[in-house]
Structure 1
Amino acid sequence: MMRVILFLVTNLAVMLVASIVLSLLGAGRYMTAQGIDYYSLFVFALVFGFTGSFISLFLSKFLAKRSTRAHVITSPANETERWLVSTVEKLATTAGIGMPEVAVYEGEPNAFATGAFKNSALVAVSTGLLQSMSHEEVEAVLAHEVAHIANGDMVTMTLLQGVVNTFVIFLARVVGFVVDKAISRDSDSEGGAGYYITVIVCEIAFGVLASIIVAWFSRRREYRADAGSVKLMGRRQPMIHALQRLGGIESGDLPKNLVTAGITSSNKFLALFRSHPPIEKRIETLQNNVV
């Protein structure tokens, strides 16, 4: 989840900062006295929409390391670190990708993978994960993260985010133009205060809606990464056991209402923003082999 949250937050921040700076610089040449030059506006939205998402992608490793204070293993200091590095190396070779950086950070059981390129990514696991799981279960989680890298999930999400950014920027300015003209017929062609205020408000509102789309897509990618873990390990039980451990449940029947912080939510509206599907759904999918 960490990689997705950082990606979305960074992307939204870049968009808002760029919007404010461009407004101050008077970059509104797509607006004319007669109305909006929609072609120019769309090109503008396309360029800056994808700029925000690609900046988020290229900063993903740096921000992930800084935010989690992850320790990158450059020279294994103990048996656990040696096992981690060798396991990730084995999985990366099987998946056909370059060796990722391997890191450990302090925290509750979790793991993530991020990076702009398949051959120079980052795989990080928490101390809580290492302490609460068996080697086989940890390997299943590592395989899941390596599958994310091999599937190119961060690049795919970047392209999707670029598309939704484009429409957020485009629609926010169209609404801003309409509002500005409605409240002030004397506004100049570059737009008045009503235009800029409306654009910022709409970018935030539309950005939230866009995040729901990206989060839905992220949940689909999680199912695929679970399937990737099964493929890399050659069996599905390790991933199922790892998910059961993460959910704090015993093997066998699953509870009807499983609530795990950061993974699922009892609030249906908040669940729309979750980057991961409920653990019980992921386990059920693996058990039914519908991946």
Structure 2
Amino acid sequence: MMRIILLALTNFAVMVVLFISMTIIGKLFGIDMSAGSMSGILILAVVMGFGGSFVSLLMSKWMAKRSMGVQVIENPQTAQERWLVETVRRQAEKSGIGMPEVGIFYSPDPNAFATGASRNNALVAVSQGLLDHMTADEVEAVLGHEIGHVANGDMVTQTLLQGVLNTFVIIFARLIGMMVDNFFRSNNDESSGPGIGYFVGSFIADILLGFLATAIVMWFSRYREFKADIAGADLAGRQKMINALKRLQSAHAVHDLPGEMAAFGIAGGLGDGLKKIFMTHPPLEDRIAALENMR
């Protein structure tokens, strides 16, 4: 429950900051920020579209630590902690990235994720369930998968993609709202400013285009998982990566990570029908088959 409250409060704070930023921009540059103004729409689209995505990216490590209860290993105390840190260090050096922070979060389910604002400022965290139920070779492969996400710049790339799509959604939704408003206005309507048609049309278009944008982002997320699996196979060994995915496949209680961490986890969830379109991860059997057929 505290994770949900923290996420909601953070998102609210981001929206307040972006709203204040738009207001200041409008005042400083004399831009009409009223509804229906093209200049206002463009500023709204850029600030809200990219602003929210980049603020979330910059806060991703902080959010992950608090929402998931990640305990960062600063001074390894046990053999397991020392092995985790050294394995990540070795893989990071081989991948040519800065040493990420390494942490453990409590969850009985086997999972792991990577997040951070850049290749040299990342966090790799594994669940206690993953450490308890996987062999060292399998954990090594999972760590390689997460290092692959960091080395491939997946966090930044997904943020840019999300920002671009958000911007287009805002612009096109408002344009559709204008067209709807003009269609329902009578010729003798002399009232200035947008009418109810603009707000209703924009609202519905926001929802429909938002679903389309989400489907595109999720497709890219699934594509990235195959690339991260290849990275895990390169860093730890292909058979280790295959065995790790098979171990996840045998764990029937696999759950998605909450919020944006889900896209950078190792396991993902289960889905069928239309739900597959909005899955962050491909089915495990498809990922296993891709590695088995890899040359």
For residues 137-216 of structure 1, what are the structure 2 equivalents within 5 Å? 137-184=138-185, 185-189=189-193, 191-216=194-219
Q: 1:260 to 1:77 in 2, by over 3 A?
A: closer
What is the CA distance between 1:102 and its match in structure 2?
0.6
Cα distance between partner residues in 1 of 2:16 and 2:276: 25
**CA shift for structure 1 position 201:** 4.0
2:86 maps to 86
In structure 2, the residue corresponding to 1:109 is in which secondary structure? coil
Q: Distance in 2 between matches of 1:230 and 1:138?
A: 12
2:286 aligned partner, one-letter code: K
Q: What SS does the aligned partner of 2:171 have?
A: helix
Gapped regions of structure 1 (runs ≥ 5): 1-5, 250-257
Partner of 2:45: 45
Q: Which residue of 2 aligns with 1:232?
A: 235
Cα displacement string for residues 66-114 of structure 1 (whole angstroms, at most 9, x for unaligned residues): 1111111111121211111111111111111111011100111000000
Contact 1:259 1:265 in 2 (8 A): no
How far did residue 179 of structure 1 move?
Answer: 2.8
Q: 2:286 aligns with which of 266, 270, 281?
A: 281
Partner of 1:253: none
| Cα distance change, pair 205–26 in 1 and its aligned pair in 2 (3 A) | farther
- Report how far residue 115 of structure 1 moved: 0.5
User: Quick check: 1:111–1:129 contact (8 Å CA) kept in 2?
Assistant: yes
Over the aligned positions, Cα root-mean-square deviation in angstroms equals 3.3
Shift of residue 181, structure 1, vs aligned partner:
3.3
Does structure 2 retain, via aligned residues, the 8 Å contact 1:11–1:53?
A: no
Following TM superposition, by how much is the alpha carbon of 1:268 offset from its aligned partner in structure 2, in angstroms? Answer: 1.6
How many angstroms apart in 1 are the aligned matches of 2:198 and 2:15? 17
Q: For residue 117 of structure 2, give the secondary structure of its aligned residue in structure 1.
A: coil
Structure 1 segment 69-80 matched on structure 2, within 5 A: 69-80=69-80
Q: Residue 57 of structure 2 contacts residue 156 of structure 2 at CA under 8 Å; is this kept in 1?
A: yes
1:272 match: secondary structure = helix
CA distance in structure 2 between the aligned counterparts of 1:125 and 1:42, rounded to whole angstroms: 41
Matched, 1:100 2:100: yes
What is the TM-score normalised by the length of structure 2? 0.80
What SS does the corresponding residue of 2:280 show, helix, strand or coil? coil
2:88, 2:280 → 1: CA distance?
A: 24
Whether contact under 8 Å (2:271, 2:279) holds in the other structure is: no
Distance 1:26 1:194 in 2: 25
CA contact (8 A) 1:16 1:200 kept: no
Q: 1:231: how far off?
A: 1.4
Partner-residue secondary structure (3-state), 2:175: helix
SS in 2 for 1:115: strand
Deviates more, 1:90-99 or 1:201-210: 201-210
For residues 12 and 266 of structure 1, do their structure 2 counterparts lie closer, same or farther at Cα, with a shift above 3 Å needed? farther
- 1:180 and 1:187 in contact (8 A); partners too: no
TM-score by length of 1: 0.81
Q: Which residue of 1 aligns with 2:262?
A: none
Moved more, 102-111 or 56-65: 56-65
Structure 1 residues 163 and 20: alpha-carbon distance in aligned structure 2, compared to 1, 3 A threshold = same
Q: For the residues of structure 1 that align with 2:272 and 2:253, how far apart are their CA atoms? A: 10
Partner residue in 2 for 1:270: 275
* Corresponding residue SS for 2:120: helix
Tell me the residue number matched to 1:245: 247
User: What is the distance in 1 between the residues matched to 2:99 and 2:178?
Assistant: 50
Letter in 2 for 1:269: L
Equivalent residue of 1:99, what SS? Answer: coil
Render the CA deviation track for 1:89-148: whole Å, top value 9, x for unaligned: 111111111110111001110000000111110000000000000111001000000010
* Bigger mean CA deviation after superposition, 177-186 or 206-215: 177-186
| Shift in Å, 1:272 | 0.7
SS at match of 2:278: coil
SS in 2 for 1:240: helix
